[in-house]
């Protein structure tokens, strides 16, 4: 009699959390069947998106194809989007109408841009999170450089790490053809950054004549202007890039339970071992998961956290499959690296503070070791050696 094939471990979303969990799970011989569900063709290494914008790196380096990364690893990839998960039935539904069963599932669907209901923001702002966003921004830079009208202006909303890094790269790419404005509603740029990195970032912004406006809330966004500050002053712009907030984007969870969907930025509430609270056999990590650290604080949404959680989660999935107790995730903050314009960066971590060209090269090398899969790392390193 033919036996039913075992339901796979299903990983929903192939970004930092999901892809690296799948790769870590597949490192063990004779692992359970693994299915990765991800709608995009390419994994995007988001911290290097700035270098893609400035043509310092190529798209195949920053965004390898999933079929190439997963080849020969025993991980099946379904190019689809999960629309709903039913934890009681241990099944999920995809946008193309498939219904699939899982033994254990991992939600790693990340986050999206959050515009806080500011009028016009979602219609008129560009985002900076995908290859398509990079293309659109490169086209805008080309237009502004060719047109060279007086008083051209690009606005970046949000002076967190993304906004500051983007403003520096944009200023370098625009090469004086437009002014870059960096708007922040809080009192300072990079409120959560290490002080050395913040100082270096302020110097980098100053050197590039980026106009920094702190304590300036954006009230509304139009196609060619922003309304800013308490009086709604009009700031004419040739484009606005929104980096000011993120919101988790989990698929709908059916069945009547408290999944904690309202917590924080719309994240799923998880226990320290990365299980979604109230749902057996369902785990979450990365930007979509609200996971407490040992002191009960919520962990930041960044690639470093997602990357480390992936290793912990792969081990917990194996433990869960063999009935062993799960281990809590413990975050090891390795420091902070920031891209600050062409061939410039700033690093604080591991007892080291470094800025400028040396930091740029070190950052590139550090990320080389984090690219997915040894094959891709070697290919990228070979490309860099050839360029050199």
The smaller minimum CB distance to ligand FAD, of residues 110 and 120, is found at: 110
Q: Of these, 54, 93, 109, 316, which contacts ligand FAD (CB under 6 A)? A: 109
Q: Of these, 64, 110, 158, 373, which contacts ligand FAD (CB under 6 A)? A: 110
The smaller minimum CB distance to ligand FAD, of residues 13 and 239, is found at: 13
Q: Of these, 25, 35, 47, 244, which contacts ligand FAD (CB under 6 A)? A: 47
The smaller minimum CB distance to ligand FAD, of residues 219 and 353, is found at: 353
Q: Of these, 9, 10, 11, 14, which contacts ligand FAD (CB under 6 A)? A: 14
The rounded distance, in Å, linking the Cα atoms of 109 and 285 is 9
DSSP category for residue 267 = B
Q: 295-303: list long-range contacts, CB under 8 Å, 24+ apart.
A: 298/264, 299/331, 300/192, 301/111, 301/246, 301/265, 303/16, 303/46, 303/47
Nearest alpha-carbon partner for 132 in 262, 68, 41, 23: 41
Cβ atoms of 168 and 344 within 8 Å: the answer is yes
Tokens of 168: 């520096």
The smaller minimum CB distance to ligand FAD, of residues 52 and 380, is found at: 52
Note whether 39 binds ligand FAD by CB under 6 A: yes
The rounded distance, in Å, linking the Cα atoms of 242 and 184 is 11
Per-residue binding string, ligand FAD, 125-154, x by CB under 6 A, is ---xx-------------------------
Q: Interaction with ligand FAD in 295-334: which residues (CB under 6 A)?
A: 301-304, 306
The rounded distance, in Å, linking the Cα atoms of 293 and 274 is 11
H or E element in which residue 94 lies: strand 91-94
Cβ atoms of 266 and 87 within 8 Å: the answer is no
Cβ atoms of 299 and 293 within 8 Å: the answer is yes
The smaller minimum CB distance to ligand FAD, of residues 172 and 287, is found at: 287
Report in angstroms how near the CB of residue 298 gets to ligand FAD at its nearest.
Answer: 13
Q: Interaction with ligand FAD in 150-189: which residues (CB under 6 A)?
A: 162
Q: Interaction with ligand FAD in 224-283: which residues (CB under 6 A)?
A: 249, 251
Nearest alpha-carbon partner for 304 in 13, 45, 34, 4: 45
The rounded distance, in Å, linking the Cα atoms of 239 and 267 is 30
Report in angstroms how near the CB of residue 125 gets to ligand FAD at its nearest.
Answer: 14
Cβ atoms of 295 and 315 within 8 Å: the answer is no
The smaller minimum CB distance to ligand FAD, of residues 171 and 228, is found at: 171
Alpha-carbon separation of residue 188 from 11, 116, 301 (angstroms): 39, 20, 20
Q: Of these, 65, 81, 247, 379, which contacts ligand FAD (CB under 6 A)? A: 81
Q: Of these, 108, 228, 235, 326, which contacts ligand FAD (CB under 6 A)? A: 108
Report in angstroms how near the CB of residue 339 gets to ligand FAD at its nearest.
Answer: 7
Report in angstroms how near the CB of residue 49 gets to ligand FAD at its nearest.
Answer: 4
Q: Which residues would be at the binding site for ligand FAD (CB under 6 A)?
A: 12-18, 37-40, 46-47, 49, 81-82, 108-110, 128-129, 162, 249, 251, 286-288, 301-304, 306
């Amino acid at each position: 009699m033919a036996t039913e094939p075992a339901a796979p471990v299903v990983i929903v979303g192939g970004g930092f959390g999901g892809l690296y969990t799948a790769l870590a799970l597949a490192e063990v011989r004779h692992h359970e069947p693994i299915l990765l569900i991800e709608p995009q063709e390419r994994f995007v290494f988001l911290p290097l998106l700035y270098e893609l914008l400035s043509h310092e790196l190529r798209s195949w380096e920053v965004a390898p194809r999933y079929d190439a990364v997963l080849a020969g690893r025993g991980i099946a990839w379904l190019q689809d989007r999960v629309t709903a998960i039913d934890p009681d039935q241990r099944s999920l539904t995809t946008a193309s109408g498939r219904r699939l069963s899982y033994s254990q599932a991992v939600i790693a669907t990340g986050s999206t841009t959050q515009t806080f209901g500011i009028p016009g923001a979602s219609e008129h702002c560009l985002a900076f999170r995908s290859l398509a966003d990079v293309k659109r921004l490169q086209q805008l830079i080309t237009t502004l450089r060719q047109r060279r009208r007086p008083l051209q202006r690009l606005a970046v909303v949000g002076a967190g790490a993304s906004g500051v890094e983007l403003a520096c790269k944009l200023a370098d790419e625009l090469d004086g053809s437009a002014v870059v404005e960096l708007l922040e509603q809080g009192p300072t740029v990079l409120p959560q950054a290490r002080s050395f990195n913040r100082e270096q970032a302020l110097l980098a912004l100053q050197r590039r004549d980026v106009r920094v406006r702190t304590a300036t809330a954006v009230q509304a966004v139009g196609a060619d202007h922003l309304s800013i500050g308490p009086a709604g002053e009009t700031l004419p712009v040739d484009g606005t890039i929104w980096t000011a907030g993120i919101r988790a984007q989990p698929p709908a969870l059916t069945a009547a339970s408290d999944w904690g969907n309202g917590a924080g930025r719309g994240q799923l509430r998880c226990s320290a071992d990365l299980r979604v609270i109230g749902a057996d056999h369902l785990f979450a990590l990365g930007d979509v998961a609200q996971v407490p650290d040992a002191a009960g604080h919520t962990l930041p949404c960044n690639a470093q956290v997602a990357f480390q959680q992936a290793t912990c989660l792969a081990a917990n999935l194996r433990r869960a499959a063999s009935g062993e107790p799960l281990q809590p995730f413990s975050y090891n903050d390795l420091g902070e690296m920031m891209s600050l314009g062409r061939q410039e960066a700033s690093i604080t971590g591991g007892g080291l503070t470094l800025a400028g060209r040396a930091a740029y090269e070190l950052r590139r090398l550090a990320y080389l070791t984090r690219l997915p899969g040894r094959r891709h790392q070697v290919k990228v390193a070979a490309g860099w050696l050839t360029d050199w």
